[in-house]
């Protein structure tokens, strides 16, 4: 946590950044300047490090923050928030720039989610239950740090050894997070060669495998169960992986766009043209060529930390860092102009 704060400290201050400047025909000088959002509320269900990451990012970007963690970690979150408030006071800033609310159930979120005029942005970090509970009641703007049903697609022109390493890493390295792979898609042209050793290694790592008919037939000695329709759309957050065989890159893109959550998707290929088609065709916040989906992370992206990963398209998309916690205003300077 301390390392993450130091990384945020070392980043440039986004507030006041000049985004655009031009002189208008009227003689007015128009500037577009980055400014804070205001009061950001973050609701999260686990991982007390979120308390520190969110506080560091919001304070650095000139915002105030309201933290509302899970009751499971209430005392830990309270202790960390107290450290933040102590640091604010030592820096000559208002302690109430960071406020911790007592944790509770989803039913208690209504008051926070309807504080129009007090809360400028609400960011929930948690499962679909939290997301759905807020959708029912929220009247303040919300950016959902959403679920990640992420895919790795092994193209017909992939380096199969590279593809094996990427697929195993994306699933196994940390399976309980939103940027872990939940589905492996393999082109039919290489499935017979790729699947037996790759699935054997995944099974050895403790991964439960489910797949379509062709994946099961080409699995070699690996035990692969029957994938249900629900499996293709599931974020397992566990050592479980759905495996499918597709006939073309277009079929892979169609599958990803139908079942994915627009979080992080990867293609493994030696073809620049195929990589470009996949990148253009897939609707996701982050698209990888020849790399694991596990890199979708504010710290890995050089943001110091993140408040979450947005799969929405308005305002912020992907890791939410300092600049994503700002908006902008137009500053106009004149010397007496009036409009005719």
Q: Tell me if 340 is assigned to some domain.
A: no
Claim to verify: residue 103 and residue 125 sit in the same structural domain: yes
Residues 207, 229 within the same domain = yes
Which CATH number goes with the domain that contains 265? 3.40.309.10
Does residue 275 share a domain with residue 222? yes
Q: Are residues 119 and 64 in the same domain?
A: yes
> What is the extent of the structural domain holding 47?
2-145+307-333
43 CA to centre of own chain:
15
Q: What is the pLDDT of residues 44-61, one digit of tens each?
A: 877 889 999 999 999 999
Tell me if 301 is assigned to some domain.
no
Question: Is there a single domain that holds both residue 134 and residue 6?
Answer: yes
Among the residue ranges 180-184, 186-190, 267-271, 314-318, the one predicted with the least confidence is: 314-318
106 assigned to some structural domain: yes
Whether residues 246 and 190 fall in one domain: yes
d(CA 81, CA 86): 9
| Inside any domain, residue 19 | yes
Q: What local confidence, expressed as pLDDT, does residue 305 receive? A: 84
State the DSSP H helix or E strand holding residue 51, giving kind and residue range, or none if neither: helix 49-60
Total domain count, the chain: 2
Shared domain for 138 and 221, answered yes or no, is: no
Quick check: is 339 in a domain?
no
Q: What is the pLDDT of residues 129-142, one digit of tens each?
A: 788 888 889 999 99
Q: Count CB atoms within 10 A of the CB of residue 238.
A: 14
Contact 154, 183 (CB under 8 A): no
Q: Are residues 11 and 127 in the same domain?
A: yes
In a domain, 267, yes or no: yes
In this prediction, residue 159 has a pLDDT band, given cuts at 50, 70 and 90, of very high
Q: What is the CATH number of the domain that holds 90?
A: 3.40.605.10
Average pLDDT, the chain: 94
Is residue 98 situated within a structural domain?
yes
Looking at the fold, whether 123 and 158 belong to one and the same domain comes out as: no
User: Is 93 domain-assigned?
Assistant: yes
Please indicate, yes or no, whether residues 98 and 165 belong to a single structural domain of this protein.
Answer: no
Please answer whether residues 59 and 97 qualify as being in contact, where contact means their C-beta atoms are separated by less than 8 angstroms.
yes
């Amino acid at each position: 946590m301390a390392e993450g704060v130091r990384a945020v400290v070392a980043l440039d201050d986004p507030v006041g950044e000049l985004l655009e400047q031009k002189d208008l025909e009227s003689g007015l000088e128009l500037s577009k300047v980055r400014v804070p959002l205001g009061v950001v509320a973050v609701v999260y269900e686990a991982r007390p490090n979120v308390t520190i990451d969110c506080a560091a990012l919001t304070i650095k970007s000139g915002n105030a923050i309201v933290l509302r963690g899970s009751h499971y970690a209430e005392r830990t979150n309270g202790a960390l928030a107290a450290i933040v408030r102590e640091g604010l006071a030592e820096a000559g800033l208002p302690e109430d720039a960071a406020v911790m609310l007592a944790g509770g159930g989803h039913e208690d979120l209504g008051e926070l989610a309807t504080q129009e005029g007090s809360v400028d942005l609400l960011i929930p970090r948690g499962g679909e239950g939290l997301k759905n509970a807020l959708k029912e009641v929220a009247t303040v703007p919300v950016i959902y740090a959403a679920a990640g049903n992420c895919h790795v697609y092994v193209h017909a022109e992939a380096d199969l050894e590279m593809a094996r390493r990427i697929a195993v890493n994306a699933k196994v390295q940390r399976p309980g997070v939103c940027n872990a792979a939940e589905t492996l898609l393999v082109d039919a042209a290489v499935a017979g060669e790729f699947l037996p050793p790759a699935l054997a290694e995944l099974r050895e790592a403790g991964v439960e495998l489910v797949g379509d008919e062709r994946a099961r037939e080409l699995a070699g000695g690996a035990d692969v169960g029957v994938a249900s329709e629900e499996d293709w759309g599931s974020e397992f957050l566990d050592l479980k992986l759905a495996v499918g065989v597709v006939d073309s890159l277009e079929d892979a893109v169609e599958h990803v766009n139908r079942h994915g959550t627009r979080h992080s998707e990867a293609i493994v290929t030696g073809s620049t043209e195929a990589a470009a088609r996949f990148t253009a065709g897939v609707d996701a916040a982050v698209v990888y060529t020849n790399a694991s989906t596990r890199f979708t992370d504010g710290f890995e992206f050089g943001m110091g930390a993140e408040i979450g990963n947005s799969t929405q398209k308005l305002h912020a998309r992907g890791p939410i860092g300092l600049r994503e916690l700002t908006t902008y205003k137009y500053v106009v300077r004149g010397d007496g102009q009036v409009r005719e």
